[in-house]
Structure 1
Amino acid sequence: MQNTKILICDDDKEIVCVLTILLESEGYIVIAESDSTRLIEKIKVESPDILLLDIWMPQILGDEIIRLIRADSDLNKLPVIAFSASHNTEGIAMEAGANDYISKPFDIDDVLFAVNNLLK
């Protein structure tokens, strides 16, 4: 876990804060981005080991971002955990190419399990 970077993209500052505290307490380096239009560039600059991405983002939706990541040969191996408070978005996320999906409100243990599982 040491030096493992996790990038969180969510426009809800409270969600980002909770996830940051949780993941940093587990030893992860956490980077946050609230603007989906800057996310691809942030991924290229930061080279995260995993992306936690809200599906319902302003400007560019999470599923569109996942498709952009999967279409880019430099980024397409990046593990993505999508999440949302909306019902019926798991299928959208998985069809776009997410590796995993977590419903909001999420259980902390579920987040840690998903992150640890994808980093194995």
Structure 2
Amino acid sequence: MTRKKIFICDDDKGISEMLEMIFEFIDAETIVETNSINAYERLRQYKPDVLIVDLWMPVISGDLLIQKIRKDRELSNIFILCISASRDGKTIALDAGADMFLPKPFDMDGILSIVEDALKIESAN
């Protein structure tokens, strides 16, 4: 059985690194991209099962990336969790095609639970 893949796209390296540490508790490969310009091509390369994407990033915003993914037949089935501190973030993210929205700051157990449910795997603990 191949390992599930989680792709994190957030320009805040602190958040990306923290999420990467959280996902060490489940049997999944984690790919991190902090530059939204590179995200789409890396998504096509890795074809992850879950994408966690920040809404507000320089150059290519999360909602534009989500829209592009949803139009791509090879990527359209990725579970997308959008994270943001934006007041209107939930509406923007879901309108773009995200499966779920989680406001920042978020609870570590909460995001881990969402991703585990999306991957349908259990944690190692």
TM-score norm. by structure 2 comes to: 0.90
Partner of 1:33: 33
Q: CA RMSD in A?
A: 1.4
8 Å Cα contact 1:36-1:59 kept in structure 2: yes
TM-score by length of 1: 0.94
- CA shift, 1:2, in A, is 6.9
Runs of 4+ with deviation above 4 angstroms: none
Pairwise CA distance, 1:21:
0.4
The code of the aligned residue for 1:65 comes to: L
Structure 1 residue 27: deviation in Å? 2.5
1:12-55 Cα deviation digits (max 9, x unpaired):
01001110000012222111001111111001111211100000
Long gaps (5+) in structure 1: none
User: What letter corresponds to residue 89 of structure 2 in structure 1?
Assistant: T
Identity of aligned residues (%): 40
How far apart in 2 are the matches of 1:63 and 1:78? 15
Q: How does 1:84-99 map to 2 (within 5 A)?
A: 84-99=84-99
| Other-structure match for 1:3 | 3
Aligned ranges 1:1-120 → 2 under 5 Å: 3-120=3-120
